[in-house]
Amino acid sequence: MKFIVTTFALSILLSCAPPMGGNSNNGGGGNGSGTNQCSPTDCNQFCVNDGMISGSCEQSSDTCICSDRCTFDSQCGISEMCIDNDCESALNRDWVITIVGGTIPERRQSGETWDALGGAPDPYVVVTVDGERCVTATKNDTFSPRWNEECTFTVFDDSTLQVKMGDEDALEHDLIANSNTEALTVAQLRNGQIVYAWDGIPDPVLTLNLRLR
């Protein structure tokens, strides 16, 4: 069976944030169409210039001013992320991939049970980035395994990701499903989650979370 990527879990902030544009403006009255400047007494807001987020409001002495520091990844370049309010490259960094869990059909594609006696499989996951493998523990007799195990990889601009789920048996391990080896993209890193499904079946069966180390 094949895994396919079905969706990315976009955070509300990422999906709603418009890209950075225009120049930031200091506090005071507006001086242009669509310009929303910082309130002199409320720094808990964003600067918006011509309908686009242009920075964050920050405290300066006894007033609030617009800063050009980032708040959302969408304010940064295509290969960058907003890290500690600065746009920095998402690549050449250590990333933690958490194998969260998944679901497995009760029978193989052939209609046979996973175990000879009709029991549930004993699944484990192998995550491979640029040829470096990380293998989870085996979960015994379950169609709904939960691992929540972490692996750390250094991600580069040409990094690839491949995922395999296997069924551990006494004599030999059976393949439950695997993905193609595909590029690990900045978009996936920004989104923070990759969800796989069975090819042709829309229900998600394996979830990976991603975060900077």
pTM above 0.85, yes or no: no
Give the span between the Cα atoms of 103 and 207, in whole angstroms. Answer: 10
Q: Where are the alpha helices (DSSP H) in 50-206?
A: 186-191
Cβ–Cβ < 8 Å for 6, 196:
yes
**Phi and psi angles of residue 40, each rounded to the nearest 5 degrees, phi first:** -60, -20
Mean pLDDT of 108-120: 83
Specify the amino acid at residue 144. Answer: S
Mind listing the domains of the chain with CATH numbers? Answer: 3-13+91-212 (2.60.40.150), 14-89 (no CATH)
7's enclosing H/E stretch is: strand 3-8
Strand ranges (E), 68-192: 80-83, 86-89, 93-102, 123-129, 132-135, 146-155, 160-167, 174-178, 182-183
Residue 27: pLDDT over 60? no
Task: Work out the pLDDT band at 98, boundaries 50, 70, 90.
Answer: very high
Lowest mean pLDDT among 23-37, 47-61, 187-201: 23-37
Cβ–Cβ < 8 Å for 92, 81:
no
Residue 19: pLDDT over 60? no
Give CA 113 to chain center in angstroms: 33
Task: Work out the pLDDT band at 171, boundaries 50, 70, 90.
Answer: confident
Compute how many other C-beta atoms are within 10 angstroms of the C-beta atom of residue 19: 12
Residue 35: pLDDT over 60? no
Ranked by mean pLDDT, the top range of 40-44, 76-80, 142-146 is 142-146
Residue of higher predicted confidence among 63 and 20? 63
Q: Where are the alpha helices (DSSP H) in 132-192?
A: 186-191
